[in-house]
Amino acid sequence: MFTSPYSDVEIPELSVYDYLFASLSDEDLGRVALIDPATGAETTYGALRTQVDLFAGALAARGVGLETVVGLLCPNVPAFATVFHGILRAGATVTTINSLYTAGEIEKQLRDAGATWLVTVHALLAQAAAAAEAVGIPHDRVIVLDGGPGHPHLAGLLAEGAAAPDVSFDPASHIAVLPYSSGTTGTAKGVMLSHRNLVANVAQCRVALDLAATDRVLAVLPFFHIYGMTVLLNLALRQRASLVTMPKFDLVEFLTNIQRFQCTYLYIAPPIAVALAKHPIVDQFDISSVHTVFSGAAPLDGETAETAGRRIHARMMQGYGMTELSPVSHAMPIDRDDIPVSSVGVMLPNTLNKLVDTETGAEITEVGADGVSRPGELWVKGPNVMLGYLGQPEATAQTLDADGFLHTGDVAVYHEGGYFSIVDRVKELIKYKGYQIAPAELEALLLGHPKVMDAAVIGVLDDDRQEIPKAFIVPAPESGLTEDEVMAFVAEQVAPHKKVRRVEFIDAIPKSSSGKILRKDLRTREATTV
């Protein structure tokens, strides 16, 4: 069993609200918490805490409390922080929803999570309203932050001046958030993360990531994603740093905001690292204020990371995690120049790890003559491990064992320097720009096409070495089915990140005797044809 090089840190028995806001000093109250690039408006920590309390009070006055689940469909704008933490302050549970979801996908998550309220913005109201109506959420329970006919809006709710409620719950068992993840296999499931889970992961990250109150963080990774929620939003607020919010990624706008607001710390996903390393437009901006770039959500190759770091004269770091880990379990340490950026760094404090042989189930405990262990599935135990999957006891049991170890589905090696590298995946998930895509979901969709006899989906690498979904299709005889037709059919029914981006027609999908798709055979086929 592997242990962290860090000493354990104290995990306070507090709610997320109390951990982030109760300890604000007089000096902190005047610090800038949020900056809106669209208007230049700044929100101080004092103003943010007041808004959080007022929003919680408005919700409580309408009956929102410990048993309530509230859907939050909102891009990265300053109001997200107010609403997200206001819901938690009221004692309710937040299920954060991908801003790119279709009405059908929103409906599915609202229904599964048991949400009875929905918060959104006017730009997303069409799909939000359709989903709310489908699950029976009335208009007066659909809050449109920037206003919408017949719906409550943020300014009006804050103006009511309602006092935040007195709520009491056990931080270790009360569910704070229900983000959705496909886990190691299958379709998306609600990940039950307690207040203690979220508090613990921020406390753990504070040791490994040297984010300071003097830093300005460019918040481009979505807050609805667990990476953005914990590492950008909550960690930055706990450290009293300033967040510059971006509703969506645009490279020019990204670089402009860094230059304009003198951002110092960037949390990114690998596609942004590729742009920083290769895109010629980067040289047209002064981004010398950046001292650290931390990549997560998907694997970043070492060569790209090093190229980007050299080009912008910044320290490049990488970490590892998953939604079920709140999400961070490993990160590059700030004081170790000997660890390559191609690795995911070291274990965070308060955690234990195992590497388990995927064939024999035996634990791997030793390194070889080259200083590297044999590869094995990474298992993680710690206070950041989820409570389980909502309403999915079998899926929970498959992922979280009786000893409290989360089976990540990722294959790692341990280096004698105390750090880990992720080398493969046991699981079948595709990670496109940090978003999880379950092949099973796309396969089920494709099989609904009248011209498709059979289908399988795997992840392949595009020209930028990023993973994308590729569909292998057995077309109906003489159907005339085209690649464009397949891609358009999927695109009409899923969020943009789930689109099938390559298609290959095939005579038969390789399957085992039990009918399971042999994805390894498809990967072999792909490798021999590239």
Residue 52's pLDDT band (boundaries 50, 70, 90)? Answer: very high
353-368: average pLDDT: 93
Q: pLDDT of 370-413, one tens digit each?
A: 999 999 999 999 999 999 999 999 999 999 999 999 999 998 99
CB 190 within 8 A of CB 178: yes
H/E stretch holding 507 reads: none
Lowest mean pLDDT among 15-24, 93-102, 273-282, 425-434: 425-434
Q: Which residue has the higher pLDDT, 328 or 182?
A: 328
Q: How many CB atoms lie within 10 A of CB 49?
A: 23
Q: How many CB atoms lie within 10 A of CB 166?
A: 7
Who's near 335: CB < 8 A, 6+ residues apart? none
- Give percent of the chain with pLDDT exceeding 70: 98
Examine the pLDDT at 514 and tell me if it is beyond 70.
no
Q: Which residue matches tokens 């790119």?
A: 100
Q: Which residue has the higher pLDDT, 249 or 164?
A: 164
Looking at residue 76, its pLDDT comes to: 96
Tokens encoding 261:
């607001």
Examine the pLDDT at 328 and tell me if it is beyond 60.
yes
281-309: average pLDDT: 91
Q: pLDDT of 189-228, one tens digit each?
A: 999 999 999 999 999 999 999 999 999 999 999 999 999 9
Looking at residue 184, its pLDDT comes to: 56
Looking at residue 515, its pLDDT comes to: 64
What secondary structure, in 3-state letters, does 256-315 show?
HHHHHHCCCEEEECHHHHHHHHHCHHHHHCCCCCCCEEEECCCCCCHHHHHHHHHHHCCE
Residue 181's pLDDT band (boundaries 50, 70, 90)? Answer: confident
Lowest mean pLDDT among 70-79, 166-175, 234-243, 336-345: 336-345
Q: What is the torsional sign of CA 154, 99, 445, 300?
A: negative
Lowest mean pLDDT among 258-272, 274-288, 428-442: 428-442
Residue 362's pLDDT band (boundaries 50, 70, 90)? Answer: very high
Q: pLDDT of 124-167, one tens digit each?
A: 999 999 999 999 999 999 999 999 889 999 999 999 999 999 99
Residue 519's pLDDT band (boundaries 50, 70, 90)? Answer: confident
Q: Which residue has the higher pLDDT, 456 or 520?
A: 456
Examine the pLDDT at 244 and tell me if it is beyond 70.
yes
Distance CA 170, CA 193 (A): 13
23-34: average pLDDT: 97
Examine the pLDDT at 185 and tell me if it is beyond 60.
no
Looking at residue 303, its pLDDT comes to: 83
The partner residues of 242 in beta bridges, in order of sequence, read 216
55-67: average pLDDT: 98
Looking at residue 437, its pLDDT comes to: 83
Q: What does pLDDT average to over the chain?
A: 93
Tokens encoding 302:
């070492």
Q: pLDDT of 448-502, one tens digit each?
A: 898 998 899 999 988 888 899 999 999 999 999 999 999 999 999 999 999 999 9
Examine the pLDDT at 439 and tell me if it is beyond 90.
no
Who's near 107: CB < 8 A, 6+ residues apart? 130, 131, 134, 135
- Give percent of the chain with pLDDT exceeding 90: 80
Looking at residue 183, its pLDDT comes to: 62
pTM for the whole thing? 0.86
